[in-house]
Amino acid sequence: MSADPKPSNGAPLLRLSGASVQQAEHLVLKGVDLEIQEGEFVYLVGKTGSGKSSLLRALYGDLPLAAGAGKVCGVDLAQVKPRNVHLLRRKLGIVFQDFALLPDRTVLENLSFVLKATGWKDRTKMAQRMQSCLEAVGLGAKGYKRPHELSGGEQQRVAIARALLNEPSLMLADEPTGNLDPTTTEEIMNLLHGLVAQNRSVLMATHDHTSLSNYPGRVLMVGKGKVHEV
């Protein structure tokens, strides 16, 4: 699989053309045309089961496109296979609602696991990068703790730090505030929106319409197998 270090100047970070997404025998989305440029915050909204998570899974290589074409951060989705999917995921940040942290490992061990899985070798550079990302989310002194010793908001901050490890151009966030209280939600939204100021882009699936009002961005509606701009 060939992958450009970054999309060429002026090229979108994400482009889908006539893309269809299928799970088992069920066609979830059909004929999706979508572009996201550098420095955009984009919301995916829609009912539970509408296909928001399936679309995100296709973008990070967990579901193949059933039809159409897609390119994410310079990677052609048609060329993504289990053996090389790490090359795509190294270019992305991925954040989940349930944090998806390894419970039996410390914060630093969780981050180290991702770096090793995406090809990092140099221990000194790994340590520096992990500490830098933890400091960026306000957890510079929490690397020794295990997930159960952290609050929900702190766990999600760790998840965001993990997503930032490979300096991604595009962050994919699937209901990242779904399990958080309003105050913590505000903190996480501030963190995510701060990425746009760094010329990164965020595609966030959410049910939280308060966030749409307080943190402006493009809004894409998912429903009846389609994706369209609101």
pLDDT at 2: 39
Query: CB under 8 Å, gap of 24 or more: what pairs does 71-78 form?
Result: 71/7, 71/14, 71/15, 72/13, 72/14, 72/170, 73/3, 73/6, 73/7, 73/13, 73/14, 73/168, 73/169, 73/170, 74/3, 74/4, 74/5, 74/6, 74/7, 75/1, 75/3, 76/1, 76/2
Q: What pLDDT score does 109 carry?
A: 97
> What percentage of the chain's residues is helix, strand, coil (to nearest 5)?
35, 25, 40
Q: Which two tokens stand for residue 177?
A: 């505030």
One-letter identity of residue 214: N
Higher confidence at residue 216 or residue 9? 216
Comparison of pLDDT for 155 and 7, the residue scoring more = 155
Tens-place pLDDT, residues 48-90: 889 999 999 999 999 999 999 999 999 999 999 999 998 898 8
**CA separation for the pair 105, 108 (Å, rounded):** 8
- Which domains, and CATH codes, for the chain? 38-62+80-229 (3.40.50.300)
Looking at the predicted structure, is the pLDDT value of residue 3 above 50?
no
| pLDDT for res 38 | 93
Task: Give the pLDDT mean for 5-10.
Answer: 52
